[in-house]
Amino acid sequence: MEKEFDIHELNIQPQAGVIGVFSRLNYKPWYAIAEFVDNSTQSFYSHQEELAEQGIDGVDIHITYDADKDILTIVDTAFGMELEDFSRAVKIDSPPEDKSGRNEYGMGLKTAASWFGNIWSVRSTRLGSDNEYYTEINIPELRQNNLNSVSIRRTKVDPTLHGTTIIIRDITKKVGSPRTKNKITELLKSMYRRDLNSGLVRIEYDGEPLYYDDHDCLSFRNRTWRKDLEFLFEFDGQIHCVTGFVGILAHGGFGRAGFALFRRNRVVVGGEDFNYKPEEIFGQAQSTIAHKLFGELDLDDFPVNQAKDGFVWDDGLEEEFIKQLKSHIEEYIKIAKITNKDREKEESTSKEVSDNVQSQVKDTISRSFGGTIHQSEPTIFDSVIQTAVDENISELTLYREYQTEQNNQPEQIDDKVREYPIQLDGASKCTISVQWTLGNASTWIKVNSEEDGSKASIQLNINHPFFKPFSEKEDFKLVLEKFAIAFALAEIRVKKNANEDGSVSPSAFRNHINEYLRKLTDED
């Protein structure tokens, strides 16, 4: 059973009525709550070894808002406080001796609690101590009576107890709406993402555990687009260090893109829809970069404001930081500029897709030709050549002119060459090479073959307007490549059977294509 031990009066100079001014600070609810979480997490990290010796491997922080009673409560299982630290937490203008942690100014509890409500209390006991300390700050009462001191009550408790409880009543900043609650939880997740993902810090808001899911990075051009950063730069005689990483989102989104700026492993600027996006890097809000580029940057030696919701760098430090950062991520900026459509188009001609198409076409050739191809009814095609030539001479002339024209078209090569050795019959063999290109809009195929028919090269223009809508589909490219091989084999075949003047029969050409398409079908 608890037993009251004594009461200690604490002078909180200047007059405690000044605390009322804190209600007019430009806080956001999530940053105000973060002040309490900063104190809790720092208490844990500063005494992690001592807690571990007692089998305590982490800290639990429970945040609840009772809308019916209008009460905000923050409870932690951190190390807790003895009288000296407890007094410093309540007293105005009393920073901690160690300013390297998250509570460097020593004002967070007082400012945040007074911003939220008119009446707030603190209760705390340190691990291993049998002393529990409690005080209540009633701002209207302190103002009315012009007081500058508060009472601290000390009570005897079980020394295995540890942690701190803050209760805020008579709330002046409402946080009970679903929209506000959602924003608070989402931004707390982001702010303490590293703590949460470490497993050492467990935070609940209204009974809901907070988790943070890291974003997946883009896989493109046979690499994952994420890299670690570390660089130094000098400004105004001081060296600043920037570490972290930059990446490109696998699934873009304006809210997810941008940089989260950390200090002492806690986000100062950033979170869903609040990430740092300087125009010098990201451009306009609707740019592709503004939906793709992201990262985490640690700015531990950069000055931060008292609310810890922004950096103090209006003296030119921010501009120099942006300049230096941009110079280290130029490659990522370029990749982030590529639209999804253009990236998909490029990927459609990637080595992986190319190799897959080659493998499937080879398999079909192996099954279809079986190593030996016998001419199918050669006498039929040969017997009609002369007649067909006589009847279709103008057609043939146009065909030959078309072939000459297409073979002279410039092409932009955009893919590797794939080779297919094909045994045409017992005595002849043809090696066909295929290459996808990004050419002009007038030509869909170019075929060049040796006089003896032993080799043929095919260039397929996937930029042709007829094929372009389907060029990003691997299945279509597989079909197109097989058709092109049949086309080339048919050309070689009719050339061998050409008249003395070099003319060939279009009907024979069509018949040969039909023959080879049947052989190249995947159906048994």
> Under CATH, what is the fold of the domain 3-209?
Heat Shock Protein 90 (3.30.565)
pTM of the shown model: 0.68
All residues at 6 or more sequence positions from 371 whose CB lies less than 8 Å from its CB, including other chains: 423
Segment 351-363 mean pLDDT = 75
pLDDT the model gives residue 1: 44
d(CA 131, CA 4): 10
pLDDT-derived band at 23 (thresholds 50, 70, 90) equals confident
Q: CA-CA distance, 368 to 521, in Å (whole number)?
A: 8
User: Which of 46, 141, 39, 136 is closest to 90 using CA atoms?
Assistant: 136
Rounded to the nearest integer, the mean pLDDT of the chain is: 84
pLDDT at 395: 45
How sure is the predictor about 352, in pLDDT bands with cuts at 50, 70 and 90? low
Beta strand 455-461 with 429-439 is parallel
**3-state SS class at 438:** strand
Q: Is 29 a residue whose pLDDT tops 90? A: yes
Residue 187: phi, psi to the nearest 5?
-75, -30
Question: What's the confidence (pLDDT) of residue 15?
Answer: 54
Q: Tell me the percentage of the chain whose pLDDT exceeds 90.
A: 51
User: Per-residue confidence at 205, pLDDT binned at 50, 70, 90?
Assistant: very high
Rg of the chain in Å (alpha carbons): 37
**Residue 143 in contact with residue 20, Cβ under 8 Å?**
yes
Instruction: Please choose, from the candidates 29, 274, 281, 11, the residue with its C-alpha nearest in 3D space to the C-alpha of residue 148.
Output: 11
Amino acid 353: pLDDT: 67
What mean pLDDT do residues 410-424 have?
74
Q: Residue 62 burial (CB < 10 Å; 0-12/13-18/19+)? A: middle
Compute the distance between CA of residue 207 and CA of residue 484 in angstroms, rounded to an integer: 64
8 close to 83: Cβ distance less than 8 angstroms:
yes
Task: Point out which residues pair with 503 in neighbouring strands.
Answer: none
Q: Is the pLDDT of residue 363 over 90?
A: no
What's the pLDDT at 349?
63
Average the pLDDT over 171-190 and give the result: 92
Whether the predicted pLDDT of 198 surpasses 60? yes
3-state secondary structure 30-83: HHHHHHHHHHHHHHHHHCHHHHHHCCCCCEEEEEEEECCCCEEEEEECCCCCCH
**Cα(139)–Cα(126) distance, rounded to whole angstroms?**
27
pLDDT of residue 445: 87
282 vs 516, residue with greater confidence = 282
HEC per residue, 234-255? EECCEEEEEEEEEEEECCCCCC
Residue 143's pLDDT is what?
Answer: 86
Q: How confident is the model at residue 382 (pLDDT cuts 50, 70, 90)?
A: very low
Q: Lowest-pLDDT range, 32-36, 146-150, 327-331, 363-367?
A: 363-367
> Cα–chain-centroid distance for residue 332?
12
* Residues with Cβ within 8 Å of residue 285, at least 6 apart in sequence: 254, 277
Per the structure block, which two tokens stand in for 341?
Answer: 């459509």
134 contact partners, CB below 8 Å, separation of at least 6: 121, 122, 123, 152, 153, 155
45 within 8 A of 123, measured Cβ to Cβ = no
Range in 7-21, 170-184, 198-212 the model is least confident about: 7-21
What region, left, alpha or beta, does residue 370 occupy, with left being phi > 0 and alpha being psi -120 to 50 degrees? left
More confident call, 150 vs 202: 202
Q: What is the pLDDT of residues 449-467, one digit of tens each?
A: 888 888 999 988 887 888 7
Place of tokens 């990003």: 472
Please report which confidence band the pLDDT of residue 513 belongs to, taking 50, 70 and 90 as the band edges: confident
Is the pLDDT score of 436 beyond 90? no
> DSSP letter at 218?
P
Q: What is the pLDDT of residue 462?
A: 80
In this prediction, residue 376 carries a pLDDT of 40
pLDDT at 69: 92
CATH fold of 219-338 reads Ribosomal Protein S5; domain 2 (3.30.230)
Average pLDDT over residues 50-61: 96
- Grouping H, G, I as helix, E, B as strand and the rest as coil, residue 276 is strand
Q: What are the structural domain ranges in the chain?
A: 3-209, 219-338, 345-519
Contacts of 340 (CB under 8 A, 6+ apart): 252
Per-residue pLDDT band at 393 (split at 50, 70, 90):
very low
* Tokens read off for 26: 């430009």
**Residues of the chain with pLDDT > 70: what percent?**
83
Q: Is the pLDDT of residue 386 over 50?
A: no
Q: pLDDT band at 387, cuts 50/70/90?
A: very low
Task: Tell me which residue of 329, 307, 315, 334 sits closest to 240, measured CA to CA.
Answer: 315
CA atoms within 13 A of residue 19's CA, in its CB half-sphere: 35
Residue 51 corresponds to which amino acid? L
